A and B are shown apart, each in its own frame.
Chain A
Amino acid sequence: MNIERATVPMEHNSPWDVQGAGLGLRRGLLPELLQAPDAPIDFMEVAPENWMNVGGRLGRQFREMTERYDFLCHGLSLSVGGPAPLDEQFIRDVGAFLKQHNIKAYSEHLSYCGGEHHLYDLMPIPFTEAAANHVAERIMRVQDILGRRLIIENVSAYLEPGKEMSEPEFVNLVLQKADCELLLDINNIYVNSVNHPSGGAADRHSAMARAKSYIEAMPGERIRYMHIAGHFEEADDLLVDTHGMEVKDDVWQLLQHTYACHGVVPTLLERDFNFPPLAELMDELNQIRRTQQQAAEHQEQGQQEQGQQEQGQQEQGQQEQGQQEQGQQEKAQQAGGDL
């Protein structure tokens, strides 16, 4: 099946000034955040469904936050992979909300959240080519309506019904067909690698290897930002993506691996309940920044070494060398701008 690309001129997401380490905004975090105007948070994210048509005290407080931080929207109800028709009025309303609050980008789940009726949570799309075509068509329709690219997120799953290809293959296929962008959720990759051995060994070491090759298979140029979060261990072979705990060591390792593969990308911590004091969340944000800084330094070293080798091999003019150094400085600034 051949899908035509969206023909509407795509107003690209405004220049991507989102950087560093972000935090998902939940109502339970609001009181503490309002009292901490200097909290070192580089950007925030909300589910538009929880804040659209909200006035009064909450609406005013939300406005205060969007004026303070760069914001992204991470939707829950679009059901972009669902069997029911797209709710186009809802999509237009989301578009108005994005404009109203100067939201930098809109992401949604590569998932579906209902049959004929809404079920308000995320179900796994069967990994088949027909399903990929279906989702891609709908993503393109959303992009047409919004006049901006949609960012889709890989989701955690406890079942893989009707699977005819691997998850990384499916994600790649959808991205390519829809020409959209990717929100890479590192915790979801980990959860799925444990939950779905797909014929491989069930131990954690094998799961980590699966997660790493999943990450490596992602198209780096499409990754717009990343998520990390904590999960709940229901059983050794069954993790549930609750966002209610601190980020596990394995997930930190995978974040490091992702930066090494694809470069440093803005990364957001999701914490949806069981909130610790804000200081603990700030520690996790700092850990994101440290990981980003280390990755940027490694990358810079690698480039310098490579540059020196090239320099030895072929004589370069003074002018060219100057340009290269300047380029490296810019890159380092970009990567470490918010550190």
Chain B
Amino acid sequence: MSTAAKGFTELQLQLADHIRTRGQTVPPADTEERRLKVYRDLFYNNVKGFLDGGFPVCRSMLGEEQWDRIATAFFKEYPHQTPYFLEISAAFLDFLNTGYNHEPSDPPWLNELAHYEWLELAVDVDPSDKPEGVQLDGDVLTGVPVTAPACQGFLYQYPVHTIAPQNPSPEPRQTALVVYRDDDEQVRFTETNPFTLSLLALVSANPDRLTGLQLVETLLQASGMEASDAAMAGGCQILQQWHQQGILLGTL
């Protein structure tokens, strides 16, 4: 690289660093502070705007000052690579889980709440679609059940879906949530229990194309439970209920 080339690259990195650190590093020579501030503010507010839009509950629960502190740390410290603006929210989750130094004042449910809020956005735009040839009125017990687009289950340690200004300090409680996109392309959440999450996992990954009944049986066996009539009926009832709710589209 020629010296001239090195010169302009260094200038570029110097300006980028100055913006990224929100003014903590030396800017390129002969640059007016007022104009540097335009860049610093535009860039930071742009990224913070994505966080504000993606995590409104986190923001309101933490308060502006703490939210701004976390957003600044994310903007400055996270090794941003994705060219996609919608993926900035996923990068923020990754930051909370791996790079962020939590402060004592941060609520213990922060990462889980952020995940729950991200999920709503992610499921809304998830590219997965209804598979071809689904029998919408198929029997989900005797046929091979199919889940709604982007359907997933998650187990949280806190009741994340209840966190609100009126409920700022929930007690820890295992909370199983199923999220999916319904027939009107709206994102839906349903609270369930860990056992049924395991059933959903079996339905979602069903390489042997087992029927609903076989899946319930498999789950009971794997859990070391006896496939009694009552237990089987319980599992079947869940599948049928999911079909009514739209968590299951039908059968293939």
Contact = CB atoms under 8 A, between A and B. Distances in A.
B9 A83 contact: yes
A130 B83 CA distance: 26
B127 A123 contact: no
Given A56-B149, A120-B80, 7 more contacts: A56-B127, A117-B80, A125-B12, A126-B11, A130-B4, A131-B8, A161-B11
A57 B35 CA distance: 40
B7 A162 contact: yes
B15 A118 contact: no
Contact of A134 (B8, B31, B39, B149): B8
A50 interface: yes
Contacts of A195: 35
18 contacts: A50-B85, A57-B124, A57-B185, A78-B83, A115-B13, A115-B17, A115-B20, A118-B80, A121-B43, A126-B8, A128-B4, A129-B4, A158-B39, A159-B35, A159-B36, A161-B30, A162-B11, A238-B38
A131 B125 CA distance: 38
A126 B7 CA distance: 9
A1 B84 CA distance: 34
Nearest to B76: A117
B19 interface: yes
Q: Which of B32, B124, B128: most chain A CB closer than 10 A?
A: B124
A59 interface: yes
A297 to B, nearest CB: 40
Interface in B177-236: 181, 185
Nearest to B37: A158
Contacts of A235: 34
Q: Is chain B's interface secondary structure helix, strand, loop, or mixed overall? A: helix
Contacts of A266: none
Contact of B85 (A49, A126, A134, A158): A49
Interface residues of B, number: 49
B12 A126 contact: yes
Contact of A118 (B5, B9, B34, B83): B83
A90 B11 contact: no
Interface in A177-234: 195, 234
Interface in A40-82: 47, 49-50, 52-60, 76-78, 81-82
Given A116-B79, A120-B80, A159 B42 contact: no
B126 A158 contact: no
B46 A121 contact: yes
A119 interface: yes
Interface residues of A, number: 49
A195 B34 CA distance: 12
Contacts of A128: 4, 7-8
Contacts of A50: 84-86
A50 B16 CA distance: 23
Contacts of B38: 158, 234, 238, 240
B79 A83 contact: no
B47 interface: yes
Given A158-B39, A162-B11, A77 B84 contact: yes
Interface in A16-54: 47, 49-50, 52-54
Interface in A129-185: 129-131, 133-134, 158-159, 161-162
B30 to A, nearest CB: 8
A244 interface: no
Contact of B83 (A49, A116, A131, A159): A49
Contacts of B85: 47, 49-50, 76, 120
A121 B48 CA distance: 13
Contacts of A310: none
A59 B126 CA distance: 9
B58 to A, nearest CB: 20
